[in-house]
Amino acid sequence: MSALSNIVPANLILFGDLCTILEQLYKKKRQRQEQNKILATFLNDVRLNAANNKDEKDVTLFPILRLLMPQCERERNAYNLKEKKLGNLLVKVLSLTPQSPDAQKLKNFSSVHNSSQEGDFAGIAYFVLKSRFVQKSSILTIGDINEILDNIARADVENKGVLLDEVFSYAMKKLTAIEFKWFLRIILKNLKLEMSENRILATFHPNAVDLYQNCTNLLKVCDELKNSDVPSGTKSSEHFGVKLFFAVKPMLSERLDVTDVHQLSANVTYHVEDKFDGERFQIHMENGIFEYFSRNSYTFSKNYGRTYDSGLLTPYFKDCFSSDARNFIIDGEMMGWHKKDQCFGCKGMSYDIKKITENSSFRPCYCAFDILYYNGKSLIGSPDKGGLPLNERLKILDALFTDVPGVIQHSKRTIVKNSTDILNALNAAIDNQDEGVVVKDVNSYYYPNKRNAGWYKIKPEYTDDTMEDLDLVVIGADEAENKRQGRAKSFHVACIDTKPDGSVQHVCVGRVASGLAHEERARVCALLEREWRDTRRAPPPPALLFNKELPDFWVPPEHSVVFQVRATELVRSAGYGARYTLRFPRVMRVRGDKPVGDAMTLHEFNKLVSTRSPVIKLSKKRVNESQLNEVSTTLRKRTAKLPQVPERFRTKTVGDVPVVSKALLDRKLCIISDEDDCKKVDLIRIIESHGGKHVENPGPDTWCCIVGKLTPLAKKRIELQELDIITSSWLRSLPASDTPCSLSPLDMLSIKKDTRRQLSVTYDSFGDSYKDEVDENTLKKCLQNMESSIYLTTKEKLKLDKQLFGDNNPFSFLRSCTLHIIGNRLHVLLAKMYGASINDDFSSLTHFVIPKDTTNEDLEAYKIKINAKIVSIEWLNMCFHHKRLVNDLEYLM
């Protein structure tokens, strides 16, 4: 093979061209379709340019995608460069005076008030440094940029600060200001495009999302799909299954308050198991070789051991696994097991299970709760893709290994008979200071990266009365990059310490960033901003004890507010004023009714941590059965009983809505759930404007129900198929009519038996009407309802072409041809577009197409090997030119 075979056309594209696309995508934020169109056009142009290159090459788009999705990068080591370190590095490389305005802006970028919307570090650096860049046009390619990034990652690993300086000096000399801005965003692994990784992958290829969920390896995705036909998706997603030593995106659990367990389906069997407070990990094994993957697909076999002879965990696995197990992938939680106390630790303690060493008090212990792959067979996905339900997977998992305490263990599971079982399990977790419990549908299938698929996590902090909330004073704030909801991204909160002499000190116990709605955050920031002080210009007084974690601004307590804060636990920390700090805190509400002087005291705070344990759980109270929502606590199927609500309790009509249509005349509709941008009262107005009436609960005379958001109640109603349910979007788009409208099965989420029987007279099983003409949107919906694809034979396609186009078919005139083309890749794409089949199996060819300048020696070799007609490429060119199948006699070689 020639040296040119290693050429990657994607590496030859100018980085400036990619930056132009990134600028366009940035300007079209929140315009999803426009963004998709811009990116798709760019990627398709790259593919076509690569196809026009006659040299042998690797057509992968990996060099581009790894820059578009830097957060998914796994082939390079971590850069370990965040905003603060980058700011100091740029100041050093540019030889700026540390106290100069430009240096201060780079070091404290979040304090810069930029008139543009680019308030991130890269945006600030661009506006500060753009006049210093000498390069005005793009000269570096994507391949060059990837090489620079490789050097940065390598420099950090080898701890070569000088090399890091040289790399950045070179980048600043060779890149334009705009290119350097995007270069920094790539390093920080946040392009600020508001495009999810799934949307970028779907634009790249229809099957890319499924493949990435199953392997989480961008390089593998690009290699698998580089020769796949994008428009037609020649390889189905089923082709890309789970593969050993490529991490699978873990399935996730839906959050559930224990008081809402009645929302679980009455017809489903569940089991409950402990929720581990460790790190989610997968273990892959084949023939005694192990690999460990974290939740974010990073590998840890170097720590835990690749074979039975190395690492902190794998050697203990010897003789644990069944002799029948050749290979497997198991899913579970990596926990810390205290060597002396013989018990589990938790993440709040002073150890990191991913960085644990031989000398640590803890050792890794793996708690397995699922199996994804066994002896060459994938067990995940839907049944048609070979997936198995949870109870079947667990049978395989239970037989896979024997428990070794402190090394590898199965999660303990209990079948749920009624909701009291779940309540008891949660209370046991509270008593044991555990994180919570997980409830799983025993017939659920494992879907990578899906959250609403039958798994529910229940924690004490989800229930109000179980947690010890803390009323704390805001005494500081950290500045936000995005100041649309105010200048603060997090708040430092404190309790009150009254000294014997009567003086008062506010002791910081941590910071809280979540829990406030956008409007409420903006209101709090506006209130505090009047009085807060910049810490860099005016250090906080001794009456405010922050310790090491200083805020950007401090606030005099007398001008502050009180937050009701809920945290999962308190953990030891030397960074704040108190000995313990908050773990996973969030603001429950702003206590406008509580004076600052009535906030929690340090004495009350210290009582919570009086045991001096490394971790103090704040779930102090058990949940009582009386707290469960007032419904039957049994999960067995209840006898159907339609709700009867007295008229005086039913929702009152809006009253001032003019009736402009008879589409819903005298019909009763029930709204099960609304939408974020169209609330229940708005939907009621729409119903009444069409002459309909809203009822609070469905009854025998209810025409249909409306569902917007898929709440647990909505899901349950849809699952039961006992009501006629349509989407809120159908109601919102309902046109005015002088006659009552009718329902189409394509608009319905649930259809009861009687309605289905009536609709079957007018519609087929896919929702297509027997009498009404079909439009494009309706046809698309019908096709989506067809579970299995329809594959026509070539003979059937030719017959269909004849019926559609007669003898003059300009669209698929090569349908009868099976070709193998030597030469330009573009001819292959065009031939497929015009109906030809492309095949590497020479026995089934009709034509073997070769360049006109093929040597006699090669031609004779082809004639010996090929039974099909051997024609020159000019024959194809003439077919393309005339848009018909040209006689091939004069083009035979």
Residues 69-109: tens digit of each pLDDT:
999 988 888 888 898 899 999 999 988 888 898 888 888 87
**Does residue 651 register a pLDDT over 60?**
no
- Sequential DSSP letters for 875-887: HHHHHHHHTS---
**Does residue 712 register a pLDDT over 70?**
yes
The contacts of residue 882 (CB under 8 Å, 6+ apart) are: none
Of all residues in the chain, the percent with pLDDT exceeding 90 is 44
Residue ranges, CATH 3.40.50.10190, the chain? 647-759, 794-891
Helices (H), 158-205: 161-174, 177-188, 197-204
CA angle 22, 28, 30 (to 5 degrees): 120
Task: Report the topology of domain 4-204.
Answer: DNA ligase i, domain 1 (1.10.3260)
Q: What is the pLDDT of residues 793-822, one digit of tens each?
A: 888 888 888 888 888 888 999 999 999 998
Give pLDDT, residue 747.
Answer: 84
**Does residue 637 register a pLDDT over 50?**
no
**Does residue 648 register a pLDDT over 60?**
no
Q: What is the pLDDT of residues 292-314, one digit of tens each?
A: 999 988 899 999 999 999 999 99
Mean pLDDT taken over the chain? 86
- Within 10 Å of residue 523's Cβ, how many Cβ atoms? 16
List Cα–Cα distances, 659 to 688, 812, 830, in angstroms.
7, 53, 57
- Within 10 Å of residue 41's Cβ, how many Cβ atoms? 13
Give pLDDT, residue 120.
Answer: 84
**Does residue 112 register a pLDDT over 70?**
no
**Does residue 336 register a pLDDT over 70?**
yes
Give pLDDT, residue 769.
Answer: 86
Least trusted range by pLDDT, from 3-7, 452-456, 518-522, 806-810: 3-7
**Count of helices and strands (H, E) across the chain:** 26, 32
Distance CA 94, CA 238 (A): 53
Give pLDDT, residue 113.
Answer: 58
Give pLDDT, residue 234.
Answer: 41
Q: 414-419 contacts: CB < 8 A, separation 24 or more?
A: 414/271, 414/272, 414/273, 415/269, 415/270, 415/271, 415/442, 416/269, 416/270, 416/271, 416/272, 416/635, 417/635, 418/633, 418/634, 418/635, 418/636, 419/261, 419/262, 419/264, 419/628, 419/633, 419/634, 419/635
Question: Given pLDDT bands bounded at 50, 70 and 90, which one contains residue 522?
Answer: confident
In one-letter notation, the amino acid at residue 57 is K
Identify the CATH homologous superfamily for domain 647-759.
Answer: BRCT domain (3.40.50.10190)
- Sequential DSSP letters for 290-306: EEEEETT--B-HHHH-S
Least trusted range by pLDDT, from 193-207, 303-317, 766-780: 766-780
Q: What is the pLDDT of residues 491-501, one digit of tens each?
A: 999 999 998 88
Helices (H), 511-625: 518-529, 602-608
Identify the CATH homologous superfamily for domain 794-891.
Answer: BRCT domain (3.40.50.10190)
What is the average per-residue pLDDT within 660-674? 92
Residue ranges, CATH 3.30.470.30, the chain? 254-462
Which of 43, 58, 3 has its CA nearest to residue 226?
A: 58
Give pLDDT, residue 630.
Answer: 45
Q: What is the pLDDT of residues 176-202, one digit of tens each?
A: 999 999 999 999 999 999 999 999 999
Q: Is 84 helix (H, G, I), strand (E, B) or coil?
A: helix
Give pLDDT, residue 114.
Answer: 54
**Does residue 1 register a pLDDT over 60?**
no
Identify the CATH homologous superfamily for domain 254-462.
Answer: DNA ligase/mRNA capping enzyme (3.30.470.30)
Give pLDDT, residue 235.
Answer: 43
Question: Given pLDDT bands bounded at 50, 70 and 90, which one contains residue 156?
Answer: low
- Run of H or E including 478: strand 470-479
Distance CA 371, CA 390 (A): 9
Distance CA 731, CA 737 (A): 13
**Does residue 483 register a pLDDT over 50?**
yes
Distance CA 6, CA 551 (A): 52
Hunting for tokens 């704030």 — which residue is that? 477
Give pLDDT, residue 395.
Answer: 96
Give pLDDT, residue 58.
Answer: 82
**Does residue 49 register a pLDDT over 90?**
no
Helices (H), 440-533: 518-529
**Does residue 751 register a pLDDT over 70?**
yes
Q: What is the pLDDT of residues 398-447, one digit of tens each?
A: 999 999 999 999 999 999 988 888 888 888 888 787 888 999 999 999 99
Task: Report the topology of domain 467-617.
Answer: OB fold (Dihydrolipoamide Acetyltransferase, E2P) (2.40.50)
**Does residue 350 register a pLDDT over 80?**
no
